[in-house]
Amino acid sequence: MAATDLVRTATRVAMVAPPRALVTAGVADIRAEPDDDAELVDQAPLTEVLTVLGARGDWRYVQGPDQYFGWIRADLIFELPGPGGRGTVAVLLANVYERETRSSAVIERIPAGTQPPQSWRAARHGEPYRPPEWAEVPLRGRSAAASRVGYLAVADTVADDEIPHRFPTADDYLKTAEAFIGVPYLWGGTTALGIDCSGFVQAVYRLNGVALPRDADQQAMLGRKVDMARAGDLMFFGDESVTHVALATGAQEFVHAPMKGAMVERGELGGDRKLRVTRRYLPDEVNA
């Protein structure tokens, strides 16, 4: 890769880890609004784990494993302890090296948000403790003979307890998206090696604890329709059907991965793309 690409992929990525909660009722109703009389949109069985994305009074805005969003009564869930101490990749692409030096050969690359299996060498007897600079990462091949160990710079990771453990906000999405500006377009791509429109917004949301489907037309089925975009919403485009998606930065502006030969960039409404719908995935009001 070119030097500019290496600088770009080493960019730190903002991310948030929302609380997670365990369902404590046999079957818990999830509703469109924080009201017992609101539309029933989903149900969660006992012990299912939900991601908590907002709060309003005695209700919590959640997303379940089926990716649906809605409101659940707070007394029907139990918030789980925060993240542990595993290292999470905190740059767009972290290199795994053949040896414990950045001048050695790169044998693998790991995208932001990944928690690779890793271990640290214990200090030898009598040596003073020093914070580790490198973590051993096992890389498994198709056979035992093809498996080996690589080295990940600890500086390219963040301890899980250092990631903000709270509800994500629209501003979090924008900070995360900034890191991807300049990443080349790649049909089917989902990392800083190359990314397409739906892969880009999926990655931004994933790094802030929210799951979205892979394709733009699938993403347009979740959340709720809004008349005017605000930062963090998704704008969907297309003539006869949804063919493109962008992350709104305001009512008229967005960030997106536009097309082959281009890069993730800022844009604004107008031109050839027809805005079909705007959808929102966070609650309108979030109480931290």
Kindly report the backbone phi and psi dihedral angles of residue 198, in degrees, each rounded to the nearest multiple of 5, phi listed first: -75, -30
Q: Per-residue b/e over 37-48, b at no fewer than 16 CB within 10 Å?
A: eeeeebbbeeeb
The domain locations on the chain are: 20-79, 85-122+131-161, 170-280
Using the predicted structure, report yes or no on whether residue 122 has a pLDDT greater than 60. Answer: no
Give the model's pLDDT for residue 196. 97
Assign 9 a pLDDT band (cuts: 50, 70, 90). confident
**How far apart (Å, rounded) are the C-alpha atoms in residues 243 and 224?**
18
Q: What is the DSSP string of 170-225?
A: HHHHHHHHHHHTTPBB-TT-EETTEE-HHHHHHHHHHTTT----SSHHHHTTSSEE
Give the pLDDT mean for 74-89: 84
Report the pLDDT averaged over residues 112-121: 79
Q: What is the pLDDT of residue 103?
A: 94
Please check whether the domain covering 85-122+131-161 is classified as CATH 3.40.50.
Answer: no
- Indicate the pLDDT class of residue 288, thresholds 50, 70 and 90: very low
Query: Which of 153-162, 203-212, 229-238 has the least mean pLDDT?
Result: 153-162
What average pLDDT does this structure show over 129-150? 75
Give the burial string for 53-86 (b: 16+ CB within 10 Å, else e).
bbbbeebbbbbbeebbbbbbbbebbeeeeebeee
* Residue type, position 258, single letter: P
Identify whether the C-beta of residue 64 lies closer than 8 Å to the C-beta of residue 76.
Answer: no
Given the structure tokens 């914070």, which residue do they identify? 131
Judged against a pLDDT cut of 60, whether residue 7 lies above it is answered with no
For residue 116, what pLDDT band results from cuts at 50, 70 and 90?
Answer: confident
Type of residue at 21: A
Structure confidence at residue 272 as a pLDDT band (50, 70, 90): confident
In the prediction, which pLDDT does 160 show? 84
pLDDT at 284: 84
Q: Which two three-digit tokens encode residue 56?
A: 């309003």
State residue 161's pLDDT score: 85
Residue 97 has what pLDDT? 95
pLDDT score for 195 = 96
Average predicted confidence (pLDDT) for the chain:
89
Q: Is 247 helix (H, G, I), strand (E, B) or coil?
A: strand
- Do residues 163 and 17 lie in contact, with contact meaning Cβ atoms separated by under 8 Å? yes
Class of domain 170-280: alpha beta
CA dihedral sign, ordered 274, 280, 284, 288: negative
Who wins on pLDDT, 118 or 11?
A: 11
Mean predicted confidence (pLDDT) in 53-61:
96
Separation CA 20–CA 81 (nearest Å): 8
Region 151-180: what's the mean pLDDT? 94
pLDDT on residue 275: 94
- The pLDDT of residue 271 is 80
pLDDT confidence band for 5 (50 / 70 / 90): low
3 pLDDT more than 50: no
Identical fold at 85-122+131-161 and 170-280? no
Which amino acid type is present at position 226? V
Sheet of 20-23, strand order: 40-45, 27-31, 69-73, 59-63, 49-56, 20-23, 77-79
Secondary structure class of 265 (helix, strand, coil): strand
List of residues 6+ apart from 240 with CB closer than 8 A: none
- Lookup: tokens for 155: 């500086």
Which fold, 20-79?
Answer: SH3 type barrels. (2.30.30)
Please tell me the predicted confidence (pLDDT) of residue 4.
46
Report the Cα 7 to chain-centroid distance in Å.
21
pTM over 0.85: yes
